[in-house]
Chains A and B, each alone.
Chain A
Amino acid sequence: MPSVDFMGKTFTVDEDGFIDSYDNWCEEWVQWVKQQEGIDELTEEHTKVIQVLQEYYEKNGIAPMVRVLSKVTGFKLKHIYELFPSGPGKGACKMAGLPKPTGCV
């Protein structure tokens, strides 16, 4: 698998740019994905989405359904797309270090 060097850290990623393991997630990873996803500025709202995703993943072992993410964060799907232009899966989950979404996507 390819690796990226960023801000003194090395991350192993797959071909879609998802991190190889949730355990290797760190603040630098967020900065790296931010740059990849074309997000200008990380706001508190971004952080909140990431935090919700990570708490849910640690507790349940899965990423939350979109409706759950909306309800817990209080952000409508439209707003989540404004925060993460690639959407909750490709954008937010990637930034939070969660595994790549699977199924017929």
Chain B
Amino acid sequence: MAFISSGYDPKEPMKNRISDIGPRKYDDFYPPVIAANKGKWLYHEYLQPGVLVHVAESGDKVFTVRCGGARLMSTIHIREICEIADKHCGGHLRFTTRNNIEFMVDEESKVQPLIKDLESRKFAGGSFKFPVGGTGAGITNIVHTQGWIHCHTPATDASGPVKAVMDELFDDFKDHRMPAHLRVSLACCLNMCGAVHCSDIAILGYHRKPPMLDHEYLDKMCEIPLAIAACPTAAIKPSKVEVGGQKLNSVSVKNERCMFCGNCYTMCPAMPLADKEGDGIVIMAGGKVSNRISAPKFSKVVVAFLPNEAPRWESTCKCIKQIVEAYAADARKYERLGEWAERIGWERFFEKCELEFTHHLIDDFRDPAYFTWRQTTQFKF
């Protein structure tokens, strides 16, 4: 298509430039019942998985229907969301912090028609467009990252594994059978964008080979001291190399000190490390962010490596299902996965989830590693 100007004049880029206006104020978009009762809510209930009702002091009620979203969406899909909101909710809707979509109505009679409408919509391939669920003690949406769609440092894909895992866990999206919330997150490299370090189950992209060095370009493209400082294990040092008879500034990597974090590639484009066979997935478990009963926890590595198996990541799905089922069967009510594992002991966690314990799982990063070893005789055979 030919170029169509928005009115911006590239010859005078600062003319009529509007900046620092921030986002639109949230209350511009409140449904009337939310605006009228803001700060005056008395209590709430789950009517069924995916449906909440909040009751205000005035007696007003707002019914919220939550449905899954793929997070990565086309404008056509957004328009369909808007069309549903226009039809049922007076044009109002919201997205949750886990990228689910919430439609709000002010009368109970409007709830079932809305659910029926949402559940009736499917993509041509057969997937639900708006599956209702994601509330209470179930498994809600997976917080995830960019993966092979858009990022340059990933060790795995994001949207692909998330779709595969949510297919596997779909029944729990629409159910409340878990002992407590079970949050699943994914990050495609250990930058850990999102919530993998604090989720009940986390899927994490992982490399297993040191970076390759493009000596010819390294000094031109990179600020060498930054690449050196990016390394958490000090495996990188400056060096001079000879390429085609020319002495060039570059770096050298001590491979036995490298743990393949990829931080140096983030800082220096001449140090790529992605590798088809080397890259894969690490599974972590037991994190949480809430303060309920126990303090927030970091998730811990429980599976050191699973291969990338595009497009369905079978072994990742199987492993997660295994952990979910063991937790659902054994944990007490209100017990998050991390609380359960700590109560029964991690040796029992590995036994119940039928996971193999390997030396990779033993912390060896600096002084704090010591505190993760067991300095007691208290353990179970």
Contact = CB atoms under 8 A, between A and B. Distances in A.
Contacts of B225: 60-62
A99 B13 contact: no
Interface string B1-37: 0000000001111100000000000000000000000
Nearest to A82: B14
B220 A38 contact: no
Interface stretch (B51-59, B111-119, B263-271): B263-271
A20 B220 contact: yes
B220 A85 contact: no
A103 interface: yes
Contacts of A47: none
A99 B266 contact: no
Interface string B205-228: 000000000000000111111100
Interface in B248-304: 266-269
Given A60-B225, A61-B224, A62-B223, A103 B10 contact: no
Interface residue range, chain A: 10 to 19
Contacts of B99: none
Nearest to B220: A21
Interface in A79-105: 85, 98-100, 102-104
B48 interface: no
B13 A102 contact: no
Interface of A: 20-23, 38, 57, 60-63, 85, 98-100, 102-104
Interface of B: 10-14, 191, 220-226, 266-269
Q: Which 8 A-B pairs have the closest CB atoms?
A: A38-B13, A62-B223, A21-B220, A102-B267, A62-B225, A61-B225, A61-B224, A99-B221
